[in-house]
Amino acid sequence: MRPESLAFLKRLLDAPGPSAFESAPARIWRAEAEKLTQDIGVDVSGNSWAALAGGGAHRIVLAGHMDEIGIMVSHVDEDGYLSFDTIGGWDSQVFVGQRVVLLAAGGTVSGVVGKKAIHLMEKDDREKVSKVEDLWIDIGAAGRKEALERVRIGDPGVLASSVLEMPNGRIVSRSLDNRIGSFVVLEALRLLHDEGGAAAPVTAVATTREEIASGGGGARPLAVRLDPTVAIVVDVTHATDYPGIDKRRHGEYRLGGGPVLSRGSSVNDRVFSMLAETADAEGIPYSIEAASRDTHTDAEWIFNAGRGIATALVSVPNRYMHSPNEMVALEDLERTARLLAAFARRIDDRSDFVPR
């Protein structure tokens, strides 16, 4: 990966941006996009976009959500301890013993997740699963008054971690799900920019609120605004190359194995076929993931937006999803960006996405 792209990726991943509070990474994303185009925008949902001009009958959107799972302060007790709720889906065991960063009005506030020490537990309690309601955040406050001078109810936060580079071109970080989607679509736009663009206009978008998207998050209103002919959603999928995973149930997806193309559900089969043909032509390895019911991504909301949009889902294998130490392979990010750019270059006025 280009050193400049890796530096941008690290800045993007380290910026805290839980669902509904994505402004920090969004600012970094738009600043990077300014190197490619002046056609940049942001809407009331916090969605950001960057567009390259083109002509023709089709409009292409490449979409990755930039929010991450997080926490939110829900109560402050008399001793200054904070109760919290989850933003997005968590395994509550992950919280035990973690440090947190809260996004308060006066700046970031550090804290630790507290739990009764094992020495003080009754025997039966030691065997129980920790629940969020049994945990708290300690910010070092002497009491409720001091705590409320530093935080307030509704302040969001994330678990404290930063990017770690590992051997074999792998990186570990929180927020890989799915800030790498927003990274990949902007990298695809960069490739198009550097290689002369595409016949059709191409817009990279960084959407919001996917992790809590009961009503479509930020993806649906942005899709209505941009009204694309075809959209490619970039997200993560579960890598299944570590111990204890039943590949017969969950499929076989490996770090370094290239992008994963979803088939079924909210995926337009003609777009899927064109992506597969493009990957074959470009020599990009890929896997196929069956989506018999839904994809649990922005693809659902974009596919059904407006009068309907020809949509596909391309995913990056991700180990240890929804934890502060997710892991992906950098080569999978590069291959996915290459695939999207090559796909965009294949679109012309003769392209037809209507199943016949």
Of residues 141, 84, 73, 143, the one with CA closest to residue 115: 84
Place of tokens 């992950």: 94
For residue 45, give the amino acid letter: S
Outline where 206-268 has alpha helix (H). Answer: 219-226, 247-250
Of 22, 32, 68, 210, the active-site residue reads 210
Residues 295, 14, 44: CA angle, nearest 5 degrees = 60
How does strand 287-290 pair with strand 260-263?
A: parallel
Residues sharing a CB contact under 8 Å with residue 24, sequence separation 6 or more, in sequence order: 15, 16, 17, 103
Cα dihedral value 186, 191, 195, 199, nearest 10: -50
Contact 117, 48 (CB under 8 A): no
- b/e per residue 134-169 (b: at least 16 CB within 10 A): ebbbebebeeeeebeebbeeebbbbbbbebeeeeeb
Q: Is 210 a catalytic residue?
A: yes
Give catalytic residues, as residue numbers. 210
